[in-house]
Amino acid sequence: MSKIPMRRSAILLFLMLMISFAFAQNTEQILEVGHEYYKKGDYLGANKVYKRAMDVDSSDANVLYHYSKSLMDLMNMKLASRYLYKASLIDRGENYPDIYYLLAESYRNSGEYKKARRYYSKAILPYRSDRNSYMYKKISQSKKANQWSMKQKQNQEVSLNPFDPQFNTDASEFGARIIEGHLYFSSLRADSIKEDGTVEDQHYFNRIYYANLNERGEAVEISSTLNFKDRHLANLTLSLDGSSAYFSVCDTNYQCEIWKAKLVNNQLKDPVALNKNINFPSYNNTQAEVLEFKGKEYLIFCSDRPKGFGGLDLWISEKKKFGYDEPINLGSNINSPGNEITPYYQEGWIYFSSDWHNGFGGYDIFKTSGWISDFKEAENLGKPYNSTADDYYFSRSGDQAILTSNRSNDHSVNYCCNDLYFSSYSEPSLLDEMQELEKDTIVPDIITLNKYLPLDLFFHNDIPDPNSKDSTTNENYLHLAADYMGMKEEYLSKISERTQYVKDEEIELELESFFEDELANGIADLEFFTPLLLRSLQDGNQIELSIKGFASSVSAADYNLYLTLRRIESLVNYFKEYSNGAILPYLNGSAENGGSLKIKKVPFGEFAFSDQSLEEDKIMAVYSPQAAMQRKIELIAVSKQNGELKKFDSQEGYSTPQIEFNSKAYQLGEVIADNVNRSFIIKNTGGSPLEIYNIMINCECAQIEYPSQLEANEEGKIRVEIDTTEMDGELELTLTVVSNSEPNLIDLKITLEKK
């Protein structure tokens, strides 16, 4: 159970503030009061005290740091990033080595992913001496998650709605379950709230509540035959037959045990703690979930006991006649060095939340399937189920999802507390597959494959086959990438010879980031994508994969054209050799099941983005981070499934979507403003829904907004916002629209000259 503050601070807060500030002569004394509230988990109270210190001296890094941390705990990330940035300029990591990490996190949780990427690279520097340390691993994973977040889109077909105000109060509500028309949830509420909103209780506790939704009744507290007056009760779930309830009992330090009781007329009768196999002594054991598999009953729960992966892990224990057996850890595809919490099971799917796996920030909700020691890799549910805030306690009721979040809404002015939400949700049952326990039973379709694109793969200068004018090669990309990974020290050494380019280790940080993030992640993403591609081909799908090639601008355009074709060919060779040639029959058209893989090569060598300052220095033109980022190929679209007449929706008589633009090019001429906005009007003139998978652009100076889907004859806008503050001279931006239309790649141009 998370430690979650009330929205309204106790009246004691204001009394203490008045006394403290009457005598406090400096910020240090004020901060000491704030720290006391922070230690208790009262982040709103701490924030009010730290704000008083800000009023006294807003140039003190110590004040800025603690005020910003309280803002982050209240999920006010925009404001936190502003003050953390100011604190970082003053402190520079000397007193607070985690300040750049917190700044990066606040930017990521605000959706400013490019700013976050820059500061993750700075944040990792103090921890590079021990790459096995938690902080090094955490920052590395956060950088990876930040890169992942940049590629994600909102699911426009789903809306997330808060529960009625009678359930979502000014307190904190969480952990809702709907079982046969009955709503169970937990809430942290005070017994005595005055008319002005202040709380007279010095101590208040989580309790479990119940409401009959069919009768639209008020929520009432579930009582117990045992006195839990000074302890928290939360996280109720029912046994398979509905007669027993499992719930968490936690002390004031939020150390929890799992208990069981009979649930009769909204009363927990004869409650008893589960055995020591579940409640491992001196550790946190909480959030039970009951499930049945092959006629046996199991309990999934959270615990930070020894022999886990770190933090809170998910464990599973089989019910025996004597109680629950020794639990088994659910493994590395679920558990991580961070925290995995709030498990929920339905029809073969396990849902949980994690603050470690690739997510948008805070806790995100994930799903997986499989069984002990053979769970599939966890998949993020995406937006809007997840946000940059904390999202957890996922459960299902019919065709609806229920979850808890502390994202900002009309009820959470101070961002601090949890509310209950619901939305539409459906997922096919996996019970038949679970009974068979077969591996790889879920075949990815085209839409699933496109979720893992675009995929960037990088090359060393003039690789493969240096100085060649051939358009083909025998090289395998994976072998080239392995060699490239081994060249990091050479790159750092070459760059060190050009000290005039080095400012505050910025270029070294960028190179570290390139090798450890862009290059390494590209290899890992390819190795993850390829088996999904093979499984889809084995199901008989006819797939067209587009690969776009880039090269740096050192060489002539005609040479770059052949070079990019060789780079694309090296990836094709990887596919041919994958798993002892398993994909080869689909490439050469000999697969007996009718499946096929067609490669569409899109060489962009002649349009390589130019940087004149790099071209004048050949070392920098090869070894700089900017040049390294240019030398790549991108997997950007898969566009066909089950033949011409059964694309995407598997309906007969399928009519291909078609894109029409009001204009494909804007010539803006001379520009003075630091921000320029332009929109392309896009229309689907075809007879079926147009899916826009991605829009690529050749400059990080632009932000793009676009619709992910347009119905037949529907119009939409591609909005482009260009930051010209660091531009000088002429610039041509190329936007490549990737969709399920024919053709599936269309380029749009914007040219301008910054004065």
User: Of 162-166, 191-195, 459-463, which one has max mean pLDDT?
Assistant: 459-463
Q: Which of 5-19, 599-613, 645-659 has the lowest mean pLDDT?
A: 5-19
- Residue closest to 381 by CA, chosen among 338, 352, 408, 421: 352
Q: Say if residue 208's pLDDT is above 60.
A: yes
**Band (464; pLDDT cuts 50, 70, 90):** very high
The residues with which 599 forms a beta bridge, in sequence order, are 545
Judged by phi (left if over 0) then psi (alpha if -120 to 50, else beta), residue 302 lies in beta
89 alpha carbon, distance to own chain's centre: 28
Q: What is the pLDDT, as a whole number, of residue 445?
A: 61
Q: Compute the average pLDDT of residues 488-511.
A: 73
Residue type, 345: Y
Model confidence pLDDT, tens digit, residues 377-419: 899 999 999 998 899 999 999 899 999 998 876 544 444 578 9
Q: Which of 114-128, 200-214, 441-455, 677-691 has the lowest mean pLDDT?
A: 441-455
Q: Say if residue 504's pLDDT is above 50.
A: no
Q: What is the pLDDT, as a whole number, of residue 200?
A: 45
All domains of the chain, ordered by start, with CATH?
Answer: 161-442 (2.115.10), 443-652 (no CATH), 655-755 (2.60.40.10)
Output the CA–CA distances (angstroms, integers) from residue 26 to 54, 60, 68, in the order listed.
11, 11, 19
Q: Are 253 and 205 in contact (CB under 8 A)?
A: no
What is the Cα–Cα distance from 365 to 355, expressed in whole angstroms? 9
Q: Compute the average pLDDT of residues 181-201.
A: 64
Between 138 and 693, the higher pLDDT residue: 138
Model confidence pLDDT, tens digit, residues 37-65: 888 777 888 898 999 999 999 999 999 99
Q: What is the pLDDT, as a whole number, of residue 498?
A: 66
Q: What is the pLDDT, as a whole number, of residue 368?
A: 93
What is the Cα–Cα distance from 664 to 10, expressed in whole angstroms? 60
Q: What percent of the chain has pLDDT over 90?
A: 41
Q: Are 652 and 693 in contact (CB under 8 A)?
A: no
**Band (435; pLDDT cuts 50, 70, 90):** low
What is the Cα–Cα distance from 624 to 507, expressed in whole angstroms? 8
What is the Cα–Cα distance from 510 to 320, expressed in whole angstroms? 55
- Residue closest to 268 by CA, chosen among 321, 231, 316, 307: 231
Between 546 and 272, the higher pLDDT residue: 272
Q: What is the pLDDT, as a whole number, of residue 541?
A: 84
Between 548 and 31, the higher pLDDT residue: 31
Between 738 and 109, the higher pLDDT residue: 109
**Band (1; pLDDT cuts 50, 70, 90):** very low
680 alpha carbon, distance to own chain's centre: 29
Q: Which of 3-7, 397-401, 570-574, 719-723 has the lowest mean pLDDT?
A: 3-7
Model confidence pLDDT, tens digit, residues 517-543: 889 888 988 887 898 889 888 888 888
Q: Are 310 and 288 in contact (CB under 8 A)?
A: no
Between 493 and 209, the higher pLDDT residue: 209
What is the Cα–Cα distance from 399 to 376, expressed in whole angstroms? 24
Q: What percent of the chain has pLDDT over 70?
A: 84
Looking at the chain, how many residues does it have?
A: 755
Residue type, 242: G
Model confidence pLDDT, tens digit, residues 196-206: 444 445 567 89
Q: What is the pLDDT, as a whole number, of residue 617?
A: 67
What is the Cα–Cα distance from 192 to 189, expressed in whole angstroms? 9
What is the Cα–Cα distance from 238 to 243, expressed in whole angstroms? 7
Q: Are 390 and 405 in contact (CB under 8 A)?
A: yes
- Residue closest to 666 by CA, chosen among 680, 654, 655, 686: 680
Q: Are strands 542-549 and 455-458 parallel, antiparallel or unpaired?
A: unpaired
Q: Say if residue 578's pLDDT is above 90.
A: yes
Model confidence pLDDT, tens digit, residues 16-25: 444 444 444 5
Q: What is the pLDDT, as a whole number, of residue 309?
A: 83
What is the Cα–Cα distance from 283 to 277, expressed in whole angstroms? 12
Q: What is the pLDDT, as a whole number, of residue 74?
A: 84
**Band (644; pLDDT cuts 50, 70, 90):** very low
Q: How far apart are the first and last CA of the chain?
A: 57
Look up residue 578 and give its DSSP letter.
G
The residues with which 211 forms a beta bridge, in sequence order, are 183
Q: What is the pLDDT, as a whole number, of residue 238?
A: 92
Q: Are 252 and 245 in contact (CB under 8 A)?
A: no
Which residues have C-beta within 8 Å of that of residue 454, sequence separation ≥ 6? 151, 634, 635, 636, 694, 696, 738
Residue type, 312: L
Q: Which two tokens stand for residue 667?
A: 């010539």
Quick one: CA torsion of 196, 202, 207, 210, rounded to 10 degrees? -20
Q: Compute the average pLDDT of residues 97-108.
A: 93
Which residues have C-beta within 8 Å of that of residue 459, sequence separation ≥ 6? 480, 484, 567, 631, 632, 633
What is the Cα–Cα distance from 505 to 525, expressed in whole angstroms? 29
Give me Rg for the CA atoms of the chain.
28
What does the mean pLDDT of the chain come to? 83
Q: Are 268 and 293 in contact (CB under 8 A)?
A: no
226 alpha carbon, distance to own chain's centre: 42
Find out whether the peptide bond into 5 is cis, omega within 30 degrees of 0: no
Model confidence pLDDT, tens digit, residues 338-347: 999 999 999 8
pTM for the full predicted model: 0.59
Q: Which of 257-271, 318-332, 382-396, 691-705 has the lowest mean pLDDT?
A: 691-705
Longest dimension (CA), the chain: 85
Q: What is the pLDDT, as a whole number, of residue 556?
A: 53
Judged by phi (left if over 0) then psi (alpha if -120 to 50, else beta), residue 280 lies in beta
Q: Which of 202-216, 429-443, 586-600 has the lowest mean pLDDT?
A: 429-443
Q: Say if residue 580's pLDDT is above 80.
A: yes
Model confidence pLDDT, tens digit, residues 712-738: 899 999 999 998 887 888 888 888 887
Which residues have C-beta within 8 Å of that of residue 383, sequence separation ≥ 6? 152, 153, 154, 155, 360
Q: Say if residue 455's pLDDT is above 90.
A: no
Q: Which of 206-215, 311-320, 404-413, 703-712 has the lowest mean pLDDT?
A: 404-413
What is the Cα–Cα distance from 451 to 151, expressed in whole angstroms? 9
Q: DSSP letters of 609-638?
A: ---HHHHT-HHHHHHSHHHHHHSEEEEEEE
Q: What is the pLDDT, as a whole number, of residue 191?
A: 54
**Band (7; pLDDT cuts 50, 70, 90):** very low
**Band (616; pLDDT cuts 50, 70, 90):** low
Find out whether the peptide bond into 531 is cis, omega within 30 degrees of 0: no
